[in-house]
Structure 1
Amino acid sequence: MGRPGPKVEPLHLTEGERAELERWVRRRKGAQDMALRARLILACDAIGEDGLPVSTKVVAEEVGVSRETVSKWRRRFLAERLMGLADEPRPGRPRTVSDEQVAELIARTLETTPANATHWSTRSMAKQVGLSQSTVSRVWRAFGLQPHRSQTFKLSADPFFVEKVHDVVGLYLDPPERALVLCVDEKSQIQALDRAQPVLPMMPGVPERATHDYVRAGTTTLFAALDVISGKVIGSLHRRHRAVEFKKFLIKVDKEVPAELEVHVICDNYATHKTPAIKRWLLAHPRFHLHFTPTGSSWLNLVERWFAELTTKQLRRGVHKTVQALEKDIRTWIASWNDDPKPFVWAKTAEEILDALASYCRRITDSGH
């Protein structure tokens, strides 16, 4: 007696297909409908006692689905193999915003400003172009537009900018032998600030709280020299910020640096670094060599990065009733830093810096402003 129902075409699973289907079945995470389809196809590939593929009815009873479901996924697999088991894309809701509307929105965002503000908001732009606020927000996110944000920049007008960049970056990337490279600068007007009321300590669920107003107790100036290689810092605190104090700091550096080493000092173009008294001191100490960063390019001086660490970890939230207390904390912090110094590694070459600046200059030249 023959088998009931129409004959079914064998699937002839390859070893790779079988392994992939078994992986889908074992997978704990993921779409369960894919695991069901994988079990269904594996069942369809079985051979009955008569040597023929099992019937659709048998597979439906084994997997627990209807015969129509078995027939559907068997046909899809025979036509497209594993890819046929994925869901076909659904048509979904048709677009309500045209390409022309998107182009107009982007053009207005980039080329105009509202009459009563310096920049567009999602609400004001939505009202201007006749779209919903959520649509404007989605388009801005898709194109990376953030009208509410603004950044600052400054391009150096130093006529020897290129030469100075090569000089300073060369010291970072290829420091001379038997020499010390020091990044030197002053952090002036460091204020000793006492909060108007006691600081409330942090508690679970509540951050530390301090009053927004404070009492000024005076200022101090920190002269610092950062060793590019070791990361250690030579610091000196003074109440004033003149060439006299800078000379005292150079004398301190001279005493602390071994006499057999040359000293290359990277500093900015501040007037106190170029006075006749400083020039005479440098002539009397020929092992000191000053290298000036370009005008308006303090970012080239690595000691500025160290100043940022000092500000973040000690000064910004510090409470000091007197200048003496402030200076004591700064000295303690420098000593702690020098116990475990962390040098800042300069990565970009001079050519990479100049190429990036050239690209930026082309962008602002072509902006039309």
Structure 2
Amino acid sequence: MPVTRAVPVVLTASGRHRLKKMAWGHKTPHQVRMRAQIVLHAARGRSNARIARETGLHLDTVRTWRDRFAGLGLAGLTDRKRSGRPPTFSALQVAQAKALACRLPAETGTPLSRWSCPELAAELTARGITGPVSASTVRRWLHQDALKPWQHRSWIFITDPGFRPKAARVLDLYARAWQGELLGEDEYVIRADEKTSIQARC
């Protein structure tokens, strides 16, 4: 059976410089470092088998990243987007759940002094904000913003009647969408936050 020749790799001076920074940079993630080293070895004309021996990587791994770089350049060394399972709940539903958690139950007509995750989950389903949702999912949502409604006594109350449409606009932009359409590769969302000692000015 004939042996398949390795794809030749040719680097420009600037490309070699960038790869060296990636291969030996202290802050470079380990996977990216190894991929850059594979390409640098390949550019010296080494075989995939030799690169695998010298780096301690599997031959298939070396072949994959060598081929990806030969076809796509530096962009080929990044991970491809994985589709994964689509989210069950939208960002707007999560925001509404957090908004409800930040209100005292008595204000919503619920006969409780404080929310718990199971009670919040039941209330979200009863109000039609979400479909059936588990208490552990609600707990995970609240944990993202360090919300513990069963412990705190002071609250920020959302009283704006236009909360839902305003939140939907912002959350869509976070998800790279505008008016129901996904943004293109050449479109950007620019955000300015006020941070401690830094004001968002015009």
**What is the match of residue 87 of structure 1?**
79
Instruction: Kindly tell me the number of residue pairs found equivalent between the two proteins.
Output: 143
**In the alignment, structure 1 residue 45 sits paired with structure 2 residue 43:** yes
Aligned-partner Cα distance in 2 for 1:106–1:8? 54
**In the alignment, structure 1 residue 12 sits paired with structure 2 residue 10:** yes
**What is the match of residue 246 of structure 1?**
none
The CA RMSD over aligned residues, in Å, is: 3.8
Unaligned residue ranges in structure 1 (runs of 5+): 47-52, 153-369
Q: 2:111 aligns with which of 106, 116, 120?
A: 116
Aligned-partner Cα distance in 2 for 1:37–1:45? 13
* Cα drift, residue 7 of structure 1: 4.1
* Cα drift, residue 18 of structure 1: 1.5
- Please list the CA deviations of residues 24-75 of structure 1 after superposition, one character each: whole Å capped at 9, or x if unmatched: 33234553232222211101001xxxxxx34333333333334322221111
Normalized per residue, which structure has more strand? 1
Q: Secondary structure at the match of 1:115?
A: coil
**What is the match of residue 71 of structure 1?**
63
- Please list the CA deviations of residues 296-350 of structure 1 after superposition, one character each: whole Å capped at 9, or x if unmatched: xxxxxxxxxxxxxxxxxxxxxxxxxxxxxxxxxxxxxxxxxxxxxxxxxxxxxxx
**What is the match of residue 120 of structure 2?**
125
1:121–1:19 Cα change, 3 Å: same
Q: What residue identity is the alignment partner of 1:105? A: A
Q: 2:29 aligns with which of 28, 31, 35?
A: 31
- Please list the CA deviations of residues 247-285 of structure 1 after superposition, one character each: whole Å capped at 9, or x if unmatched: xxxxxxxxxxxxxxxxxxxxxxxxxxxxxxxxxxxxxxx
Aligned-partner Cα distance in 2 for 1:9–1:140? 50
* Cα drift, residue 76 of structure 1: 0.9
**What is the match of residue 139 of structure 1?**
141
**In the alignment, structure 1 residue 150 sits paired with structure 2 residue 150:** no
Q: Secondary structure at the match of 2:108?
A: coil
Matched ranges for 1:90-239 at <5 A? 90-97=82-89, 102=94, 105=97, 108-109=100-101, 113-117=108-112, 120-128=115-123, 129=125, 130-140=132-142, 148=152, 149-150=154-155
Aligned-partner Cα distance in 1 for 2:17–2:27? 17
Q: What residue identity is the alignment partner of 1:132? A: S
Unaligned residue ranges in structure 2 (runs of 5+): 126-131, 158-202
Q: What residue identity is the alignment partner of 2:16? A: R
Q: What residue identity is the alignment partner of 2:71? A: A
TM-score, structure 2 as length reference: 0.52
* Cα drift, residue 108 of structure 1: 4.9
Aligned-partner Cα distance in 1 for 2:23–2:135? 44
- Please list the CA deviations of residues 157-204 of structure 1 after superposition, one character each: whole Å capped at 9, or x if unmatched: xxxxxxxxxxxxxxxxxxxxxxxxxxxxxxxxxxxxxxxxxxxxxxxx
Aligned-partner Cα distance in 2 for 1:9–1:34? 20
Contact 1:21 1:42 (C-alpha < 8 Å) held by counterparts: yes
Aligned-partner Cα distance in 2 for 1:55–1:150? 64
- Structure number with greater Rg is 1
- Please list the CA deviations of residues 333-368 of structure 1 after superposition, one character each: whole Å capped at 9, or x if unmatched: xxxxxxxxxxxxxxxxxxxxxxxxxxxxxxxxxxxx
Contact 1:113 1:120 (C-alpha < 8 Å) held by counterparts: no
1:77–1:110 Cα change, 3 Å: same
Aligned-partner Cα distance in 2 for 1:120–1:113? 11
Aligned-partner Cα distance in 1 for 2:62–2:48? 6
Identity %: 32
Contact 2:41 2:51 (C-alpha < 8 Å) held by counterparts: yes
Aligned-partner Cα distance in 1 for 2:37–2:58? 14
